[in-house]
């Protein structure tokens, strides 16, 4: 990414350029979009990896001067188009921030979260309840970076926004507030408060999406982790099994849809395109939950039906994100587990169909 140096004397009075990553005085600016500034090259590279490469040209087009004068009759439509473009960028930023959060890339969360906050401020002028997801994702990233005080500040901003705006507790963000609170209590080793917050998280997520929804699974997963720290393996296992059941059903449904679409579409390129029913944040979340449970059960040398279901769920996940070798590995492992425990005839049949249908497919090479 090319940059342009900022000369303080050339900046109009009353206007300053702040670094998108740390909010300090900026000295360089992106040459392409001319909307994002940085205090040093390191923060420029961090932003580039975190989000800017996805939105640079969109930002350029968004803030470019109109090619002609906007008539009064067209102004409302123009402003609506501008608002839609900003909301779309915010959605891209939050998805990428959540993906990096689930993957443990905490430093890369910050640029995307700050960019979404900046756009929220442009749209709503003041701190709004709409900005709560950005505050929460940033708080969780800061917990991961061991910056507890900063994380608590952003969590407080989220709670303050909720209170000031007469926040609707049936909003999709309700359960997320409690989930982030629970993580704060977990970091502080206040386990009982963490469990109570997660109980609220599960309640609100269930009210909105149902008890078997992937949105609710995060509450079960985090509660299982708290019980793990408390040395209660039976409770941990029962909650992990619930997480596996939810994600298995979701990923199986997504895999069936992708297979059906591939059969309808004769174009071989369709088999090389990731399935759009699963966004990048959901894929990262599924990978985090299922791989963590897999590693724990593998370390404890578990061989049971849910372990086989977990492996097959991972096979579906890797199939959806086009990592064929990993999909084959986990499907084969699920098959071996079921053969050892001599059970799960229906699941064995499902695995054989999956391996037969998916794995032998020749991937289309456009260079041939």
Judge whether 164 lies within some domain. Answer: no
CA distance linking residue 277 with residue 257, whole number of Å: 9
d(CA 112, CA 59): 13
pLDDT at 110: 93
pLDDT at 270: 46
Q: Does residue 83 sit within a domain?
A: no
* Cβ proximity of 345 and 253 under 8 Å: no
In a domain? residue 18: yes
The answer on pLDDT for 283 being more than 90 is yes
In a domain, 311, yes or no: yes
Q: Is the pLDDT of residue 172 over 50?
A: yes
| Candidate from 34-43, 163-172, 181-190 with smallest mean pLDDT | 163-172
Domain assignment present for residue 331? The answer is yes
Instruction: Give the pLDDT score at 119.
Output: 92
- Measuring CA to CA, which residue among 101, 98, 79 is closest to residue 90? 98
Q: What are phi and psi of 138, to 5 degrees?
A: -70, -40
Residue 362: per-residue pLDDT: 42
Domain boundary residue among 32, 64, 96? 64
Average pLDDT of the segment spanning 7-31: 77
Tell me which of 64, 82, 117 is where a domain ends: 64
Given 64, 85, 114, which residue is the final one in a domain? 64
Under the banding of pLDDT at 50, 70 and 90, the label for residue 360 is: low
Among candidates 34, 37, 82, 88, which has minimal Cα distance to 62?
Answer: 82
Question: Domain tally for the chain?
Answer: 2
For residue 9, is it within any domain?
yes
Question: What digits encode the pLDDT tens for the residues 253-266?
Answer: 999 888 887 666 65
Please give the pLDDT value at position 272: 45
Secondary structure class of 276 (helix, strand, coil): coil
* pLDDT tens-digit map of 148-170: 999 999 999 888 887 766 555 56
* Average pLDDT taken over every residue of the chain: 86
User: Does the residue 285 lie in any domain?
Assistant: yes
Residue of 103, 34, 99 lying closest to 62 (CA atoms): 34
**Whole-number percent of the chain with pLDDT over 90:** 57
Residue written as tokens 């941990």? Answer: 236
Report which of 51, 55, 44, 184 is spatially closest to residue 105, judged by C-alpha positions.
51
Q: Give the pLDDT mean for 205-210.
A: 94
The boundaries of the domain holding residue 367 are: 245-368
249 within domain boundaries = yes
**pLDDT recorded at residue 11:** 61
Summarised one tens digit per residue, pLDDT across range 68-106 is 667 777 778 888 888 999 999 999 999 999 999 999 999
| 10: pLDDT strictly greater than 90 | no
- Our measurement of the distance from residue 204's CA atom to the centroid of its chain's CA atoms, rounded to an integer in Å, reads 19
């Amino acid at each position: 990414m090319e940059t342009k140096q900022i000369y303080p004397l050339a900046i109009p009075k009353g206007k300053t350029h702040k670094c998108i990553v740390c909010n300090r005085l900026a000295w360089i600016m992106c040459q392409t979009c001319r909307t994002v500034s940085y205090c040093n090259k390191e923060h420029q590279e961090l932003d580039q990896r975190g989000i800017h490469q996805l939105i640079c040209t969109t930002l350029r087009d968004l803030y470019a001067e109109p090619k002609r004068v906007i008539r009064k009759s067209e102004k409302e439509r123009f402003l609506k188009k501008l608002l839609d473009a900003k909301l779309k960028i915010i959605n891209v930023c939050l998805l990428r921030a959540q993906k990096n959060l689930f993957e443990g890339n905490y430093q890369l969360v910050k640029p995307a979260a700050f960019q979404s906050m900046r756009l929220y401020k442009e749209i709503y002028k003041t701190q709004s309840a709409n900005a709560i997801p950005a505050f929460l994702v940033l708080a969780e990233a800061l917990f991961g970076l061991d910056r507890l005080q900063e994380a608590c500040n952003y969590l407080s901003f989220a709670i303050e926004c909720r209170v000031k705006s007469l926040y609707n507790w049936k909003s999709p963000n309700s359960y997320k507030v409690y989930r982030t609170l629970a993580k704060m209590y977990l970091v502080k080793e206040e386990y009982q408060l963490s469990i109570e917050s997660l109980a609220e998280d599960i309640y609100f997520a269930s009210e909105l999406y149902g008890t078997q929804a992937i949105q609710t699974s995060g509450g079960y997963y985090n509660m299982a982790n708290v019980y793990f720290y408390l040395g209660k393996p039976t409770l941990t296992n029962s909650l992990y099994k619930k997480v596996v059941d939810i994600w298995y059903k979701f990923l199986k449904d997504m895999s069936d849809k992708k297979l059906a679409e591939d059969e309808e579409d004769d174009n071989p390129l369709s088999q090389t395109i990731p399935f759009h029913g699963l966004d990048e944040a959901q894929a990262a979340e599924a990978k985090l939950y299922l791989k963590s449970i897999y590693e724990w059960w593998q370390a404890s040398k578990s061989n049971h039906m849910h372990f086989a279901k977990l492996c097959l769920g991972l096979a579906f996940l890797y199939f959806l994100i086009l990592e064929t070798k990993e999909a084959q590995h986990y499907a084969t492992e699920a098959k071996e587990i079921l053969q050892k425990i001599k059970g799960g005839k229906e699941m064995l049949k499902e695995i054989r169909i999956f391996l037969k249908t998916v794995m032998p497919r020749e991937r289309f090479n456009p260079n041939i």
